[in-house]
A and B are shown apart, each in its own frame.
Chain A
Amino acid sequence: MKDNIKKDDIMVELRELHKYFGDNEVLKGINLKVQRSEVVVVIGPSGSGKSTLLRCVNMLEEPTSGEIYVEGELLNDTSLNHKAYQKHLNRIRTEVGMVFQQFNLFPHMTVLGNIIEAPIQVQNKTKAEAIEIAEKLLDKVGLADKRDVYPSTLSGGQKQRVAIARALAMNPDVMLFDEATSALDPELVGDVLHVMEDLAKEGMTMLVVTHEMGFANKVGDRVVFMDGGYIVEESTPQEMFTNPKHERTKKFLVDIVDGK
């Protein structure tokens, strides 16, 4: 399926992206393109700027300079006035789903409530339409029986699968995953990775920050290694894991294998 989708479609593009937190420059000129249906895995040591990069793609973090394009549209379009800009961001955000390390499910809503909230509130879907979508997605992530429970009763792996379903309910074109499995007990990681792998097979464009090298190798089309706010190296998984070019990459990969 993945092969019939045309590959020259750029879904996300970052140009000369810089981000400062106060005096601390966290992204030091990032250039990155993600094509339709591509799975790009971002790896790198703690503090290297992976989360910041990902959060810039849906403007949870405002870059200090540089440009972010989503499906050819400039996201940080500073020519717009405040109100128009907010509208513009909200619209583009519906096309970019995000999954967080800490799940961030809405605790005061049931699983179903979590999933139908944005389609109803943002896309003006009727409740019936939203529920139909939600039920399909719950089926897909293997949690159809959890429809009416509250998130607090779920395991971490179940929570994360609900969070994925919630993001997918908006029918996004791109999905961002920020260490989606890092907060999970080891035995629950597999279920979530499985859902992500299925998603990749269906042709979803994905930008994935993870420490799961197995996943990067198996599912990734491209691996990007970040360190100190730079993209140090990017290549295919085979190339990255068998023949890394930079010393820093080699050291990181060795450390990871040694369990850090």
Chain B
Amino acid sequence: MLDWGIIVHYFPFLVKAAVMTVQISILSLILGFLVGLIAALMKLSRNVLIRGAAGFYVWIIRSTPLLVQLFIIYFGLPQLGIDLGPFLSGVLGLALNTGAYNAETIRGGISSVPPGQMEAARSLGMSSGRSMKRIILPQAMRMAIPALGNNFIILIKDTSLVSTITLVELTLAAQRLIGSTYKPFEMYIMAAFLYALMTTATSYMLKRVENKMAI
């Protein structure tokens, strides 16, 4: 069945590659969160152009495959003289993608805060920006955390797609090792195990954050 010798020998190599997966996950998670927050706030703007731009962004991302988005950034943009290389292309593509989903999640969180909260803040003389920052967003985020966490987990798994733009992360590393060992079963099982480890650890941490923020 499984060739344990191969597993023991190659596992450290895949762990190293998984470090790259963790790096791009964290980077695109942070960027994607900021993008999502900004897009969500833009969607609430009084200005129809700002609102429209955010709406367009969310629509275009959610209605096209991530793989095509990555190809446009990595293979397409160089044609316009913008060559980001695999790492930046990967992070940008993932961040923009998860950002659109985060935007919808955060917007949902904001609209779930009762309107009386904004009214109370405004009646105390707080500006709309300050009310949003101090009163609405803290409550909206609490409500959004489970769904945001879900987006984070999806993001970690989606990083495997950047293997197609030559970024050597866990999936591409496994593929390359298969090329030299002819052991696809062992390699992919190890990769799957490492993905499960990363997503499960993330879920666990998110649960803790959620409990901590509960009131």
Contacts and interface: CB of A to CB of B under 8 A. Distances in A.
A9 B3 CA distance: 92
Interface in B28-47: none
Contacts of A190: none
Contacts of B139: 106-108
A100 B125 contact: no
A143 to B, nearest CB: 18
Given A108-B138, A108-B139, A121-B134, A170 B124 contact: yes
Interface residues of A, number: 28
Given A90-B126, A118-B124, A152 B117 contact: no
A86 interface: yes
B134 to A, nearest CB: 6
A104 B126 contact: no
Contacts of A100: 116, 119-120
A94 B127 CA distance: 11
A97 interface: yes
Contact of B116 (A93, A96, A102, A170): A102
Contact of B122 (A93, A107, A163, A170): A93
A94 B117 contact: no
B125 A106 contact: no
Contact of B126 (A58, A97, A108, A118): A118
Contacts of A150: 215
Given A108-B142, A108-B215, A93 B119 contact: no
Contacts of B125: 90-91, 93-94, 118, 122-123, 170
A104 B138 contact: no
A152 B214 CA distance: 12
Contacts of A90: 125-127
Contacts of A122: 124-126, 130
Interface in A94-112: 94, 96-98, 100, 102, 104-108
16 contacts: A58-B123, A86-B128, A90-B127, A91-B125, A93-B124, A97-B123, A100-B120, A105-B120, A106-B120, A107-B215, A108-B138, A117-B135, A118-B125, A121-B134, A122-B125, A123-B125
A232 B127 CA distance: 36
Contacts of A93: 122-125
A98 B123 contact: yes
A172 to B, nearest CB: 9
Nearest to B113: A107
Contacts of B135: 106, 117
B149 to A, nearest CB: 19
Closest 7 CB pairs of A and B: A94-B125, A118-B124, A104-B120, A104-B116, A98-B123, A93-B125, A122-B125
Contacts of A118: 121, 124-126
Contacts of B142: 108
A167 interface: yes
Contacts of B114: 102, 104
Interface in B89-126: 114, 116-117, 119-126
Interface in B49-95: none
A232 to B, nearest CB: 28
A122 to B, nearest CB: 5
B129 to A, nearest CB: 10
Nearest to A95: B125
A254 interface: no
Interface string A104-132: 11111000000001100111000000000
Nearest to B123: A98
Nearest to B117: A104
A96 to B, nearest CB: 8
